[in-house]
Amino acid sequence: MTHSLELIWHLIKRDFHLRYTGSALGVLWSVLVPLFHLSVLVFTFRNMVPVGIEDYPAFVYSALLPWTWFSSSLSSAGYLFFSHRDLVRRPLFSPWMLVVMNTASYLLTFMLSLPLLQLLLILYGRPIYWNVGALLLLMAIQAMLTTGLGFIIACWNVFYRDIAQLVSLLLSFLFFLTPIFYRPVSGGWYRELLTRHPMAFLIAGYRAVLFDGKAPGMDMLITSAFFSIAVCWLGYFIYRRLLPDVIDAL
């Protein structure tokens, strides 16, 4: 068990190394990319199409960070087994570690950006005492959701390369269906239908904790927790079923 953890930690470092060797800014990129994304959103929705929300950069940033963790993990999940083919084809390696490593690796970049969010809040003169327990709970739920989906995407993409394309399409669609740069609006059956997904629940939870300094809504939390556990189990189940074929196909 401790060895597995040590190994996953090693793989995370290896992943960072592979991702950033040869780039001058290195790990800084993992912080810079969401910041750039943030500035585009802030410029658009404060100066071009104003939505009129106070402390808007901090408001967006508090939701954009967990979203970036989610979306980058899922976009890189598709080619996970291909880019780590050397490990998948090693006798003593269990490929599930790659999926866990992928989630954990982007979780780390998420956590690297958190101090920046606090800095932003202080700049706006409203330092927030984060409820660390609630934050950890949210992260645990999201980690399960991401890992479960990661299993499915990583395995299916070995057989159908469309999956990775499809995932990036769905992610860009889901980005707009998640209250990241706006506050959730109620009313209208389609709004209710489309914005009631676990990621929206989770993002609302993060915003409550990180931006408003409140506790996340309990019912939302429980729903998304159950959903994430189910997805995680399903993902692992699919992985177990497909693994022999995945290895044959690689």
Distances (CA, A) of 218 to 107, 120, 168, 214: 23, 27, 30, 12
The binder of another protein chosen from 52, 86, 125, 218 (CB under 8 A)? 86
| Residues 6-16 as b or e (16 or more Cβ within 10 Å = b) | eebeebbeebb
Distances (CA, A) of 52 to 49, 55, 74, 175, 199: 9, 9, 31, 20, 24
**Closer by beta carbon to another protein, 14 or else 37:** 14
Nearest distance from residue 89's CB to another protein, in Å? 5
**Under the criterion CB under 8 A, does residue 89 sit at the interface with another protein?**
yes
**Closer by beta carbon to another protein, 75 or else 131:** 75
**Under the criterion CB under 8 A, does residue 25 sit at the interface with another protein?**
no
Nearest distance from residue 242's CB to another protein, in Å? 11
Alpha helices for 124-179 (secondary structure H): 132-159, 162-177
**Under the criterion CB under 8 A, does residue 84 sit at the interface with another protein?**
yes
- Tell me how far apart the alpha carbons of residues 172 and 180 are, in angstroms, rounded to a whole number: 12
**Under the criterion CB under 8 A, does residue 212 sit at the interface with another protein?**
no
Residues 127, 121 contacting (CB under 8 angstroms) = yes
**Under the criterion CB under 8 A, does residue 240 sit at the interface with another protein?**
no
Residues 102, 150 contacting (CB under 8 angstroms) = yes
The binder of another protein chosen from 33, 87, 139, 171 (CB under 8 A)? 87
- Tell me how far apart the alpha carbons of residues 250 and 243 are, in angstroms, rounded to a whole number: 11
The binder of another protein chosen from 1, 5, 21, 129 (CB under 8 A)? 21
Size of the site for another protein (CB under 8 A): 26
**Under the criterion CB under 8 A, does residue 7 sit at the interface with another protein?**
yes
**Under the criterion CB under 8 A, does residue 241 sit at the interface with another protein?**
no
